[in-house]
Homo-oligomer: A and B are copies of this chain.
Amino acid sequence: MRFVYFLSDQTGVTAETLGHSLITQFNGHDFQQVTLPFIDNEDKAKEAVLRINSSIKDNSLKPIIFSTFISEELREIVKEVNGLHLDIFDVFLEPLEKELKQKSTKKSGLAHGMSNANTYMKRIEATNYALANDDGGVTRHYDKADIIIIGISRSGKTPTCLYMALQYGIYAANFPLTEDDLENSAIPDTLKPYKKKLFGLTISAERLRQIRKERRAIGTYASIKQVSYEIREAEKIYIKKGIKFIDTTELSIEEISGKIIEQTGVQRRFRP
Task: Identify the A interface with B (CB < 8 A).
Answer: 10-14, 16-18, 20-29, 33, 35, 37-38, 62, 64, 68, 70, 84, 86, 88-89, 91-93, 95-96, 99-100, 102, 104-107, 109-115, 120-121, 123-125, 127-128, 131, 134, 156, 158-159, 162-163, 166, 211, 214, 249-255, 257-259, 261-262, 268, 271-272
The answer, among B11, B33, B37, for a CB contact under 8 Å with A271, is B33
Residues on the B chain within 8 Å of A249, using CB: 114
Asked if B70 and A159 sit within 8 Å, CB to CB, the answer is no
27 contacts between A and B (CB under 8 A): A11-B257, A12-B258, A13-B17, A13-B258, A14-B17, A18-B88, A20-B111, A21-B111, A22-B88, A22-B89, A22-B92, A25-B105, A26-B105, A35-B268, A37-B259, A38-B262, A84-B99, A86-B92, A113-B251, A113-B252, A114-B250, A121-B214, A123-B253, A124-B156, A125-B214, A127-B158, A131-B158
Asked if A111 and B24 sit within 8 Å, CB to CB, the answer is yes
Residues on the B chain within 8 Å of A162, using CB: 127, 162, 166
Asked if A16 and B96 sit within 8 Å, CB to CB, the answer is no
Asked if A26 and B112 sit within 8 Å, CB to CB, the answer is no
Residues on the B chain within 8 Å of A114, using CB: 249-252, 255
The answer, among B110, B123, B128, B211, for a CB contact under 8 Å with A25, is B110
Residues on the B chain within 8 Å of A258, using CB: 11-13, 35, 37-38
Question: In the complex this chain forms, how many copies of it are found?
Answer: 2
Q: Contacts A21-B88, A26-B105 given: A62-B16 contact, CB under 8 Å?
A: no
Asked if A105 and B252 sit within 8 Å, CB to CB, the answer is no
Residues on the B chain within 8 Å of A115, using CB: 24
Minimum CB distance partner of A102 in chain B:
B26
The answer, among B35, B99, B211, for a CB contact under 8 Å with A62, is B99
Rounded to whole Å, the gap between the CB of A29 and the closest CB of chain B is: 7
Q: Contacts A86-B95, A259-B38, A271-B33 given: A254-B22 contact, CB under 8 Å?
A: no
Q: Contacts A104-B26, A271-B33 given: A21-B124 contact, CB under 8 Å?
A: no
Residues on the B chain within 8 Å of A10, using CB: 255
Given contacts A112-B252, A131-B158, 12 further A-B contacts (CB under 8 A): A21-B88, A21-B111, A23-B96, A25-B106, A37-B258, A37-B262, A38-B258, A109-B255, A113-B252, A113-B255, A125-B214, A128-B158
A112 to B25, CA, bound (A): 12
Residues on the B chain within 8 Å of A20, using CB: 111, 271-272
The answer, among B26, B92, B214, B272, for a CB contact under 8 Å with A17, is B272
